[in-house]
Chain A
Amino acid sequence: MTILREFAAELVGMFFAETRLSAALLALVAATAWLIDYTDLNQLISGAMLLFGSLALLVASVCHTARPRAP
């Protein structure tokens, strides 16, 4: 059972190791899907939002972790 538990934990950790980044990326995908399905916005603009949004979230997440916190 320990192996199964570790296996499951590994599986979850693969995608949600950094919860805030994962949640923000999922929200970005949902927002992109909404724009494509429910607005007349050009698909490429939605695609650019997905691409540059992901890049921005990555940089923000790294900076957030590296930034020194007040004791």
Chain B
Amino acid sequence: MMWSTAAPAITAAFLASLVEVVEAFTIVLAVAMLRGWRPAAAGTAAGLAVLASIVLLLGPLLDRVPVTSLQLAIGVLLLLFGTGWLRKASLRAAGVIPLHDEDAIFAAETAGLTERTHRRQKNLDWVAGITALKAVLLEGLEVVFIVIAVGAGRGLVAYASFGALAACILVLATGAVVHRPLSRVPENLLKFGVGVMLSSFGVFWTGEGLGIAWPGQDLALLLFIALFLGAGVIASGFARKFSVEFAS
């Protein structure tokens, strides 16, 4: 195993999971505050079980796919996903689209859940549990994709899973202490970094899947990361310039 490949894979899985787990935690916390920890924990456990099943089902299936086809398919998906995150993070950094606000999401989720539970006077815990399940499932889907995608090409799924698990533990431990939405996490900066890494992995795997032998092999990833970082910063700078021109 080359650490030049493993380190970005673990870091990407850790940072992406950090972002997604913070988002899921906000909703689970809103559920727990309104209906108690029991439905919140049950919904979270059910969501995690579904996500784990997806990994357990997909893992053995992916082992049967020829490695170049796997690299090409995952590379293209990573390129689409990574540039999507990087694009959005650049626009947010430039102030073109608003930043993700965990406090606002917590307030909106609390209001929405209150309204839903008022409409259905029965099975309130059920509604709360489903809300937590959905949050974990939808936010966790991206984590599962990232873990499989950055890990599958080079047998790094276990390492990437370790990165994701570390992020979960960190967020849950912090959340248990502060007991409120983790709005101070620099989410956009993390998304920017993850977008840079996933886009770089995307180009790397896509190229390898197409038969390109990158000079320096895995070390080429570091160059790609530097280039995508530069492109994201430049794009954000242009976007800020346009938005300032528009405002004046």
Contacts and interface: CB of A to CB of B under 8 A. Distances in A.
Contacts of A10: 138, 141
Contact of A62 (B133, B141, B206, B239): B239
Contact of B80 (A16, A43, A63, A66): A16
Interface string B111-147: 0000000000000000000100110011001100100
A67 B231 CA distance: 17
B226 to A, nearest CB: 11
A23 B176 CA distance: 43
B242 A68 contact: yes
A57 B228 CA distance: 11
A44 B87 CA distance: 26
Interface string B51-62: 000000000000
Contacts of A55: 227-228, 231
A39 B165 CA distance: 45
Interface in B48-91: 76-77, 79-81, 83-84, 86-88, 90-91
A6 B83 contact: no
Interface string B210-222: 1111110000000
B246 interface: yes
Interface in B197-217: 199, 202-203, 206-207, 210-215
Nearest to B96: A66
Interface residues of B, number: 48
B77 A15 contact: yes
Given A47-B214, A62-B91, A67-B242, A14 B203 contact: no
Given A14-B142, A15-B80, A62 B210 contact: no
Interface string A2-32: 0100110011001111100110011001001
A6 to B, nearest CB: 6
A63 B238 CA distance: 6
Interface residues of A, number: 36
Contacts of A67: 242
A66 to B, nearest CB: 4
A58 B206 contact: no
Interface of B: 76-77, 79-81, 83-84, 86-88, 90-91, 94, 96, 130, 133-134, 137-138, 141-142, 145, 199, 202-203, 206-207, 210-215, 224, 227-228, 231-232, 234-236, 238-240, 242-243, 245-246
Given A14-B145, A58-B231, A63-B242, 16 more contacts: A7-B138, A15-B81, A22-B80, A25-B80, A36-B212, A47-B212, A50-B206, A50-B207, A51-B207, A54-B203, A58-B235, A59-B231, A59-B238, A63-B235, A65-B91, A68-B242
Interface of A: 3, 6-7, 10-11, 14-18, 21-22, 25-26, 29, 32-33, 36, 43-44, 46-47, 50-51, 54-55, 57-59, 61-63, 65-68
